[in-house]
A and B are shown apart, each in its own frame.
Chain A
Amino acid sequence: MSPSPATDARTDLQPGTLEMLILRTLTLGSLHGYAIAQHIGRLSDGVLRVEQGSLYPALERLLNKGWVTARWAESPTKRQARYYTITRSGRKQLDEKVSSYDRVAIAIARVMGRA
């Protein structure tokens, strides 16, 4: 069987959720892939670990949809890295995703008796 990266419990993200997290992260500014992964990992206290195998395909999808753009630039370590920037339609998309995510999150919390 081919090895699957999605079987690790810690990284089990719903499809679409990773895109939302990436877009949210990019609202901080232009970042390269590794920084995006680091940021998500740090903010979630290591619960959400974005692996390269899902990160770059997700970024490619976002590029194809036109929600982010990419360009090569020099990183602080003097190496060439590919920096991603969120576009206007990316922001709009993020707003929509966040609001629908909020609705679902609140609904789940209610059902679980936590709100």
Chain B
Amino acid sequence: MSLLDGIGHRFYVLMRGEAYAQEVDREIQFHLDLEDLSLSGAGAGEASLEVAARRTFGNVTYYREETRSMTLLLWLDRIRQDAGYALRGLARAPGFTTTVVLTLALGVGLNAAVFSLLDRVFVRPPAGVAAPHELRRLYIEDAHTAYGDSHIFPNFNYPFYRAVAGAFGSAETVAYTLADSVRPEGGGPLIRRSYVTANYFRLLGVRPTVGRVFGSEEARIETPAYVLVIGERLWRDGFGADPNIIGRHVKTGLLDFTIIGVVPDPFAGLDISAANAWAPLSAFSAGRLSLDGPPWYLGFGNYLRVVARMPTGSSDVVLAAKATAGLRAVELKGYASPANNSVWLGSLIAARGPAKKDSESSISLRLGAVAIIVLLIACANVANLLSMRANRRRREIAVRQALGVSRWRLYEQVITESLLLALIGGIAALALGAWGGALIRKLLFPSVNWAGGTLDVRAVAFVAIASVVAGIMVGTAPAFAGSRIDIISSLRAGSLEGAYRRSTLGSILLVTQTALSIVLLVGAGLFVRSLAKVEGIDLGFDTPALLFANLGVSPRQRFGPETQPAFQRAAEALRRVPGVQSTTLSNVGPMGGFAGARLFRPNGDSVVLGDNDSPTFVSVAPDYFTTVGLRLRQGRFFTDADRKGSEPVMIVNARMAGAFWPNQTAVGQCLVLSKPTDPCVRVVGVVDDAHRMRIIEEPAKQFYVPLAQRLFGAPVLIVRADPRRIGLVVAETRRQLKLAFPEAELSQVRTVSELLERELHPWRLGAQLFTMFGILALVVAAIGVYSVVAYGVSRRTHEMGIRVALGARVADVIGLVVSQGMFIVGLGVGVGVIGALLLGRFVASLLYGVTTRDPVSLVGAIVVLSLCAVAACLVPAWKAARVDPMEALRAE
């Protein structure tokens, strides 16, 4: 029974552990004793006896090691021993340990944060859904949009959804709206409610734990059913896990919902932004502008997301073709024929679908690459620190080898030390990652309501793997450098021996770090410059000084032109408030949009222009232009004399004047609005161009008409305030609005800057995150430069002592040290610039107004890095220059 005997022995060894090692020792001792006896019997002298025994047996420690290395437990035991040894070593060098742990924590923590973000946005299917691989999200490709290019989006209107669902046949589809946030009356947690088709839960395989989900009684779109299914978490947090939850009411705004069921965690809808309550689609009002008029589900508001479950064996291509045919058959009143539209089937995970990614997702993808670069820099830095440590310990290692420790054993010890460092770093990284992850989430997707925490099992696993890989990566190079030591020369000489040899490995690592830092700094520079360019765009308004107020529309309330006198009074009252410079009225706020109208030449020819390029207009009060800061080029502004009934007049912007009356004076010309039979409207002035809605938009033809002559709905109140007191003015405007319209429910007061912030957000984000990461990289690289130069100086104390003794001045020594350090940095900068130029195209699509070869960013990055590197060199250089020659020469 050889097998059993063998296993029995191994088991015996395993159980005995250290005791077995003692057994082996005893056995060897027995052997030695007998050997002694037989040798002394041969008459050898005491001194030569020892030598002879040694000669016969060789190095006893070595054999003992050899024998012991054969068992698993001893191997484990050795790990424990190595770990203990490494821990003691690390505790003796707290500065080194802290630097390494922090550097690794930064690198790994950042990656954990970005990893968990990318995991959520791009990788993980929605939780709690049965067989997510069978689900497809549907997209529409609109081949002819107003912008002239085709674009794909995941939004459907109800008629399109019905058409596609019908064409799909056996593949069933659900439609749902993105969750809105409402605060229930009587307090409680925020309800994030999505309106869904009645088959939603059944198709997704989500079963209620209490009550029921929607059924056929909620299926009819025409009969609103105000019932609600809530998530388990809301049930616990908002209703104290009430077992009698069914039938309880939730009042939100004007609507009263009855709870009919609870669905279990972790289901939170199908988007990254979590929902916690679901109502039937029939209860959806689409924020309708009025109670009369056609219901939303007959129109073309793209409120719906559509997801289909694919029957096994069905083909995406065939179903997409069917759906496209169904879609093209739809006839919608007032909607351009969908003849060129197609349906696409894509990933359930919206960020992976065929639709154009939002800039936040695009930025987060690039962040992944950036995080890896930061990790590489951190690893290079730590490897450098470790190899310098190994170099400092040459003598110790040589002694250990002389004592019979095998090279492999030494390698194990170095690897153990670096793994240990990486693991401690990993733990610090988890803390950092949780914090940084929350920060990045908030920065990147401020409006997303995340289900679950920043770091989960996957992220922790990621950190563990990243730490181990980093540990082995940073440990390998120094381990080999450390174990390849010439024992004799290392033992014979102190640090004097071989004086100073620059470590090639250290230099390569330093060049790598510097180069990668340059890449990140250039990236940061490009984003910062883009942001500056975007912010620097002249919108035509004095944006920082402007705020506006409107009444809003709700299903119950609609305000019309009759509110104008009350607005007028509020505007006059506000003018007396300190900080307010002027007030005015118009039909839309600055950057708030525009109205369209058909235009005719005086002779009745209609003005035919591309869809995209038709002039649009704003109705404004006489003091509008001075309030918003639009400059007059020709003619005059409106006056109070431009009333209803007086001659109809307009003011055009410079672009429209140039397009309609090239080489002529625009003032005095006239155009007919709306109907060819209407009276001609005379141009009385030309003003500068101003943006209509977006910061980045093509210049548009725009004209202005007096509010008194053309007003359809309620006006908007525009206030120009001292930018320093804008907070106060906002509060006062709010108060005046409340006084004038106490019954208005949805009135709001906002600054134009707030309005713009949404568009600036991606730019600001890119600039912030890249700068943040760039600074991290810079700090780590500066630590690297410092430690390499400082190490070099410490190795050359003797040489510096001689130099000083021979009359080298402080400046000479500093110059020598700094120039040698900067030579390596210079190499890194060169490599980094090439890298930045090559990698630039990956961010090119996110930039505005700068090319990836932007000299300002390149030079800026080089200057910033070089300054930091010089500073990092100066500290050790200064130390070197102050070496006391006597002391340096006497030492060793």
Taking Cβ atoms with an 8 Å cutoff, the residues of A that contact B are 1-3, 5, 32-34, 37, 49, 51-53, 56-57, 60-61, 63-67, 69-70, 72, 75, 79-82, 87-90, 93
- B839 smallest CB distance to A (angstroms): 46
Bitwise, B84-115 to A at CB < 8 A (1) or not (0) is: 00000000000000000000000000000000
Query: Which secondary structure characterizes the binding site on chain B?
Result: helix
Contacting residues, chain A, for B6 (C-beta < 8 A) = 63-66
Residue in B35, B60, B67, B404 whose CB lies within 8 Å of A34: B35
| Pair B30/A66 contact, Cβ less than 8 Å | no
- B538 smallest CB distance to A (angstroms): 76
Contacting residues, chain B, for A1 (C-beta < 8 A) = 487
Q: Using a CB-CB cutoff of 8 Å, which residues 30-48 of chain B contact chain A?
A: 30-35
Bitwise, B397-441 to A at CB < 8 A (1) or not (0) is: 000010011110000000000000000000000000000000000
CB within 8 Å for A53 and B9 given contacts A61-B70, A66-B3, A67-B2: no
Q: What are 22 pairs between A and B in contact, CB < 8 Å?
A: A2-B401, A2-B404, A2-B405, A2-B407, A3-B59, A3-B404, A33-B27, A34-B30, A49-B56, A51-B57, A52-B28, A52-B58, A53-B57, A53-B66, A56-B67, A57-B70, A65-B6, A66-B2, A66-B3, A72-B23, A87-B5, A89-B5
CB within 8 Å for A56 and B30 given contacts A3-B62, A51-B57, A87-B5: no
Contacting residues, chain A, for B30 (C-beta < 8 A) = 32-34, 75, 79-82
CB within 8 Å for A53 and B2 given contacts A34-B31, A34-B34: no
A66 to B2, CA, bound (A): 4
| Pair A89/B27 contact, Cβ less than 8 Å | no
Let me know if B458 is at the binding interface, CB within 8 A.
Answer: no
Known: A5-B59, A87-B1. 6 other contacts (CB 8 A): A32-B30, A51-B58, A63-B6, A64-B9, A67-B2, A89-B5
> In chain B, what residue has the closest Cβ to A77?
B34
Let me know if B4 is at the binding interface, CB within 8 A.
Answer: yes
List 10 tightest A-B contacts by C-beta distance, closest first: A89-B2, A66-B6, A66-B5, A66-B2, A53-B63, A5-B58, A63-B9, A34-B34, A34-B31, A82-B27
Let me know if B659 is at the binding interface, CB within 8 A.
Answer: no
Contacting residues, chain B, for A60 (C-beta < 8 A) = 67, 70-71
Most buried by A among B2, B32, B62, B401: B2
Contacting residues, chain B, for A81 (C-beta < 8 A) = 27, 30
Contacting residues, chain A, for B28 (C-beta < 8 A) = 52, 56
A17 to B435, CA, bound (A): 63
Contacting residues, chain B, for A3 (C-beta < 8 A) = 58-59, 62, 404
A64 to B23, CA, bound (A): 16
- A62 smallest CB distance to B (angstroms): 9
Let me know if B24 is at the binding interface, CB within 8 A.
Answer: yes
Let me know if B26 is at the binding interface, CB within 8 A.
Answer: yes
| Pair A89/B1 contact, Cβ less than 8 Å | yes
A65 to B5, CA, bound (A): 8
| Pair B24/A56 contact, Cβ less than 8 Å | yes
Let me know if B7 is at the binding interface, CB within 8 A.
Answer: yes
Let me know if B151 is at the binding interface, CB within 8 A.
Answer: no
Contacting residues, chain A, for B59 (C-beta < 8 A) = 3, 5, 53
A90 to B8, CA, bound (A): 15
- B820 smallest CB distance to A (angstroms): 34
- A13 smallest CB distance to B (angstroms): 15
Q: Using a CB-CB cutoff of 8 Å, which residues 531-566 of chain B contact chain A?
A: none
Contacting residues, chain A, for B71 (C-beta < 8 A) = 60
> In chain B, what residue has the closest Cβ to A70?
B9
Let me know if B10 is at the binding interface, CB within 8 A.
Answer: yes
- B511 smallest CB distance to A (angstroms): 33
A51 to B66, CA, bound (A): 13
| Pair B58/A53 contact, Cβ less than 8 Å | yes
Residue in A2, A69, A90 whose CB lies within 8 Å of B406: A2
Contacting residues, chain A, for B27 (C-beta < 8 A) = 32-33, 56, 81-82
CB within 8 Å for A66 and B1 given contacts A5-B58, A52-B57, A53-B66: yes
Most buried by A among B30, B60, B405: B30
CB within 8 Å for A33 and B31 given contacts A51-B57, A89-B2: yes
- B736 smallest CB distance to A (angstroms): 90
Most buried by B among A2, A70, A81: A2
A89 to B1, CA, bound (A): 7
Q: Using a CB-CB cutoff of 8 Å, which residues 363-403 of chain B contact chain A?
A: 401
- A27 smallest CB distance to B (angstroms): 16
A2 to B7, CA, bound (A): 32
A61 to B404, CA, bound (A): 22
Bitwise, B58-77 to A at CB < 8 A (1) or not (0) is: 11101100110011000000
| Pair A52/B2 contact, Cβ less than 8 Å | no
Residue in A5, A34, A90 whose CB lies within 8 Å of B2: A90
| Pair B31/A52 contact, Cβ less than 8 Å | yes
| Pair B56/A51 contact, Cβ less than 8 Å | yes
A52 to B65, CA, bound (A): 12
A51 to B27, CA, bound (A): 14
Contacting residues, chain A, for B32 (C-beta < 8 A) = 52
- A115 smallest CB distance to B (angstroms): 34
Contacting residues, chain A, for B7 (C-beta < 8 A) = 66
Contacting residues, chain B, for A5 (C-beta < 8 A) = 58-59, 62-63
- B186 smallest CB distance to A (angstroms): 75
Contacting residues, chain A, for B23 (C-beta < 8 A) = 72, 82
A67 to B2, CA, bound (A): 6
A101 to B56, CA, bound (A): 28
> In chain B, what residue has the closest Cβ to A5?
B58
- B632 smallest CB distance to A (angstroms): 92
> In chain B, what residue has the closest Cβ to A53?
B63
A14 to B394, CA, bound (A): 36
> In chain B, what residue has the closest Cβ to A49?
B56
A89 to B66, CA, bound (A): 26
A72 to B28, CA, bound (A): 13
Contacting residues, chain B, for A61 (C-beta < 8 A) = 70
A67 to B71, CA, bound (A): 17
> In chain A, what residue has the closest Cβ to B487?
A1
- A64 smallest CB distance to B (angstroms): 5
Contacting residues, chain A, for B58 (C-beta < 8 A) = 3, 5, 51-53
> In chain A, what residue has the closest Cβ to B32?
A52
| Pair A64/B63 contact, Cβ less than 8 Å | no
Contacting residues, chain A, for B63 (C-beta < 8 A) = 5, 52-53, 56-57
Contacting residues, chain A, for B487 (C-beta < 8 A) = 1
Contacting residues, chain A, for B24 (C-beta < 8 A) = 56
Bitwise, B257-297 to A at CB < 8 A (1) or not (0) is: 00000000000000000000000000000000000000000
Contacting residues, chain B, for A87 (C-beta < 8 A) = 1-2, 5
A56 to B31, CA, bound (A): 10
CB within 8 Å for A57 and B67 given contacts A5-B58, A32-B30, A79-B30: yes
Most buried by B among A64, A67, A75: A64
- A28 smallest CB distance to B (angstroms): 18
A61 to B10, CA, bound (A): 10
- A31 smallest CB distance to B (angstroms): 12
Contacting residues, chain B, for A80 (C-beta < 8 A) = 26, 30
Q: Using a CB-CB cutoff of 8 Å, which residues 616-633 of chain B contact chain A?
A: none
- A36 smallest CB distance to B (angstroms): 10
A22 to B66, CA, bound (A): 19
A52 to B26, CA, bound (A): 13
A94 to B8, CA, bound (A): 21
Contacting residues, chain B, for A56 (C-beta < 8 A) = 24, 27-28, 63, 67
> In chain B, what residue has the closest Cβ to A32?
B30
A81 to B30, CA, bound (A): 7
Contacting residues, chain B, for A82 (C-beta < 8 A) = 23, 27, 30
A65 to B704, CA, bound (A): 98
Contacting residues, chain A, for B66 (C-beta < 8 A) = 53, 57
Contacting residues, chain A, for B404 (C-beta < 8 A) = 2-3
> In chain A, what residue has the closest Cβ to B486?
A1
Contacting residues, chain B, for A52 (C-beta < 8 A) = 28, 31-32, 57-58, 60, 63
A57 to B70, CA, bound (A): 8
- A106 smallest CB distance to B (angstroms): 28
